[in-house]
Structure 1
């Protein structure tokens, strides 16, 4: 994957800054990627094997509170995220674009599908976080279920906890990895080791925690305070998810698929959250979302 530049800064109309990276072909078909948690714009440059399509221009903003992007409480919300995305696209001269969000980035892609379908060529999510409901967390890991349930009720406590995890990830990364792997299925733990995820994600995760975890606290509150009316989304959405996923439970993906009127879901047997890092799967998803013959170029 060719990195064009991974430390760009855009000043937003309200004075906040948004950091973003660019990868791939500068004249390619535009694709805006929303990273998961606790990742950053650097994620897309460290995935092994360059699993992206040629002729694609990848624009990767830091979500609010991650990396170089400012978080402002009360302003930085899912409901307002599309305004930042429009500002970024307009600054680059891009009229229409595809969006994709894995895991914690999924709600941000769905927010764009809800708010700005007229600007989008396609929408995709992988193992997207969704609303916290009895039926969506039935097979979630106990740690994740507890986090999502109580983060909105005890925000001060969870802010402190997330700052601790941010400190741990930056200074004791091996211990941090051992702790977070308790949130994943046995399938995912094996894949994490086999794919050497800890090694290639280390610089990305460190950048994701640059702002001491404020971002992870906000992400933890999203499921229980879910604001997106999924049934009102007016553009087709593609979803992929491994059936062995318990960190973002498979039932959550199935619920999202049942709610959105125009939806195409692919559920993968025998895999979990880290299927996305298997060789070529990223390219396969992008090929569905940005087919070679149909999507407009960026300018």
Structure 2
């Protein structure tokens, strides 16, 4: 835990003690707690991975009005607490923009940046997008539009209730990879239930504030990023692929990477991404 003014930022620390320093930013919504398959990939990857909870998640103090760029202050504070002058960054899904913010705003400290299934800055002007417009261009999505023009909280609360009800009925912790069998019932695993509760029961403020941050100016320009960047997405994740088209056109020298799977990468793809962070 680190203190930034009156705020607390909680983080986890995994991997070899002598591994390459790296910060990881979890998706939207999710917290610092990693699943066993991800922990195994981290342990074998050669990185020392710190995962801070963004404000409003997992016990980190809420920061109303935060932007995507606000994460750079928290990242620097966690790195300072760990004695890291230089470090890599990675982020999955909604964590992707936050990793990119660190790459843009901390160029003297960030060595490499890898993002998985990241979103891109949305388009929120005009009337609410139709389903057809959203399918054609994910930047014109109704969630981002409502973050500016409406109230997302009731919908998030209903989604969370639905997810937890499915878990209580015997569902797995995460949806299976395309073509794979569902995992074991999450309700039988206290650690899985703790992760789900932290994400879908007690972190609604972070979930909401993430989407407001995505839908308003991010506070940096993608074109200003100069550190090596890799943009990863799964073969079955068509929406992420469209976002990667946009990001790769905007970020100088960004490298596209594919893996077989959906929005959540399988362990082998996550391990390959972490090893990419260690390249020199």
Q: TM class, shorter-chain normalised? A: 0.7 to 0.9
Distance 2:215 2:207 in 1: 14
Q: State the shift of 1:60 in Å.
A: 1.0
For 1:60-82, what per-residue CA distance to the aligned partner results, in whole angstroms no more than 9, with x for missing partners? 111221102111212x3212210
Q: State the shift of 1:256 in Å.
A: 0.3
Map 1:1-299 → 2, pairs under 5 A: 9-12=1-4, 14-43=5-34, 45-47=35-37, 50-52=40-42, 53-74=44-65, 76-133=66-123, 137-139=134-136, 145-154=141-150, 157-169=151-163, 173-174=167-168, 191=178, 194=181, 196=183, 199=186, 202-209=193-200, 211-227=202-218, 228-246=220-238, 248-268=239-259, 271-274=261-264, 276=265, 278-291=266-279, 294=280
SS in 2 for 1:249: helix
**Structure 1 residues 208 and 190, CA gap change in structure 2 (3 angstroms):** closer
Structure 2 unaligned spans of 5+: 124-128
Kindly report the root-mean-square deviation, in angstroms, between the aligned alpha carbons of the 2 structures: 3.2
**Structure 1 residues 112 and 190, CA gap change in structure 2 (3 angstroms):** closer
Distance 2:69 2:76 in 1: 13
State TM-score, norm by structure 2: 0.82
Mean Cα deviation higher: 33-42 or 50-59: 50-59
Q: State the shift of 1:165 in Å.
A: 3.5
CA contact (8 A) 1:137 1:252 kept: no
State the match for 2:126 in structure 1.
none
Distance 2:122 2:166 in 1: 31
CA contact (8 A) 1:162 1:214 kept: no
SS in 1 for 2:267: coil
SS in 1 for 2:100: helix
State the match for 1:4 in structure 2.
none
Distance 1:173 1:160 in 2: 20
CA contact (8 A) 1:149 1:224 kept: yes
For 1:77-108, what per-residue CA distance to the aligned partner results, in whole angstroms no more than 9, with x for missing partners? 21221011101110111110011001010010
The size of the alignment, in residue pairs, is: 266
Q: State the shift of 1:21 in Å.
A: 0.7
Distance 2:213 2:25 in 1: 15
CA contact (8 A) 1:166 1:212 kept: no
CA contact (8 A) 2:171 2:184 kept: no
Q: State the shift of 1:224 in Å.
A: 3.0
Distance 1:175 1:150 in 2: 31
SS in 2 for 1:40: coil
Mean Cα deviation higher: 259-268 or 217-226: 217-226
State TM-score, norm by structure 1: 0.77
